[in-house]
Amino acid sequence: MKTIDIRTTQNVTISYELAEFRDRLLAFIIDTIVKSVGLLILWWLFIAVISDIDSSSAEYFAYIVILPIATFYTLIFEIWLNGQTPGKKLLKIKVIKLDGKQPGFYDFLIRWTFRIIDIMLSFGVVGTILILSTEHAQRLGDMTSNTTVVRVNSRVNISLNDILRIDTRKNYEPKYPQISHFQESDILLIKQTIERYQKYKNEAHRKAILLLCDKLQNRMQLTEIGPDKIAFLKTLIKDYIVLTR
């Protein structure tokens, strides 16, 4: 499982899991099916509405409607769905920029243009080789637009117990029993926020810690959490492990 750290324009570092080649291939297949079915439905509707179809009207419809949709399907959806097509959305992957900025029209246009080399002319060979061999799983379209494809929701392959390796103490009394009602994903978010703050000690990550503590305090209805925010967060993690193990 490859990961990548993206530093946003607000100087906050976010870790993403790179989309696997399998997911990108499945998304491509799903998009091909969706596009084909959609165009077939449009053609059927055209036949149903136009009773007297000749070769000229059919040709006009093909050039004006069918061809543009077939050609610009990926570009239109990635712009409309902010880096996703129906296939990518179903597979929970999306296009992002490596510099932390939001991908724009020209970024998506460049990616779409290089599909000619990555996919069409090479029958997908060029794109496949580059995605499997490059550090950030980039095809030519990604390299030229400084983008890559990541998972929207990272998959956790190991349990929280394995990550934290906290031993249960029979005489340990949790300080915040309310934490047992949280989800494991919430605790993983707390842990990741601590790790990012400790790795990148800057003002942006300090504010992220304060904001997280404030939200947790409100959600748990606590009147006081103490001045040491990191200690508070670590206590929450330990309490969760002890209470849910």
Supply φ then ψ for residue 93, to 5 degrees. Answer: -130, 160
Measured distance CA(104)–CA(122) in Å, rounded: 27
Measured distance CA(91)–CA(52) in Å, rounded: 42
Residues 140, 117: contact at Cβ < 8 Å? yes
pLDDT of residue 8: 63
Tokens of 181: 């009602």
| Reported pTM | 0.66
pLDDT of residue 158: 44
pLDDT of residue 16: 82
Per-residue pLDDT of 64-100, as tens digits, reads 999 999 999 999 999 999 999 999 999 999 999 998 7
Residues 149, 142: contact at Cβ < 8 Å? yes
- Residue 108, classified by CB atoms within 10 Å of its CB into exposed (0-12), middle (13-18) or buried (19+), is buried
Alpha-carbon distance values, 29 to 9, 36, 57 (Å): 34, 11, 31
pLDDT of residue 111: 96
**What is the DSSP track for the chain?**
--EEEEE-TTS-EEEEEBPPHHHHHHHHHHHHHHHHHHHHHHHHHHHHH-SS--HHHHHHHIIIIIHHHHHHHHHHHHHHTTS--HHHHHHTEEEEETTSSPP-HHHHHHHHHTHIIIIIITTTHHHHHHHHHSTT---HHHHHHTEEEEESS----S-HHHHH-PPP-TT---S-GGGGGS-HHHHHHHHHHHHHHHHS-SHHHHHHHHHHHHHHHHHHT-S---S-HHHHHHHHHHHHHHHH-
pLDDT of residue 57: 78
Which of 106, 39, 44 minimizes the C-alpha distance to 73? 39
What residue type is assigned to position 79 of the chain? I
pLDDT by residue for the chain (245 residues), tens digit each? 677 877 766 555 677 889 999 999 999 999 999 999 999 999 998 888 776 667 777 888 888 999 999 999 999 999 999 999 999 999 999 999 998 788 999 999 999 999 999 999 999 999 999 999 999 999 999 999 999 999 887 554 444 554 455 455 556 788 899 998 898 888 888 988 888 888 877 888 888 899 999 999 999 999 888 889 999 998 998 888 888 76
Which of 169, 153, 132 minimizes the C-alpha distance to 89? 153
Query: Does the CA dihedral 111-116-119-120 come out positive or negative?
Result: positive
Region for 137 from its dihedrals, namely left if φ exceeds 0, alpha if ψ lies in -120 to 50, beta otherwise: left
Measured distance CA(144)–CA(22) in Å, rounded: 22
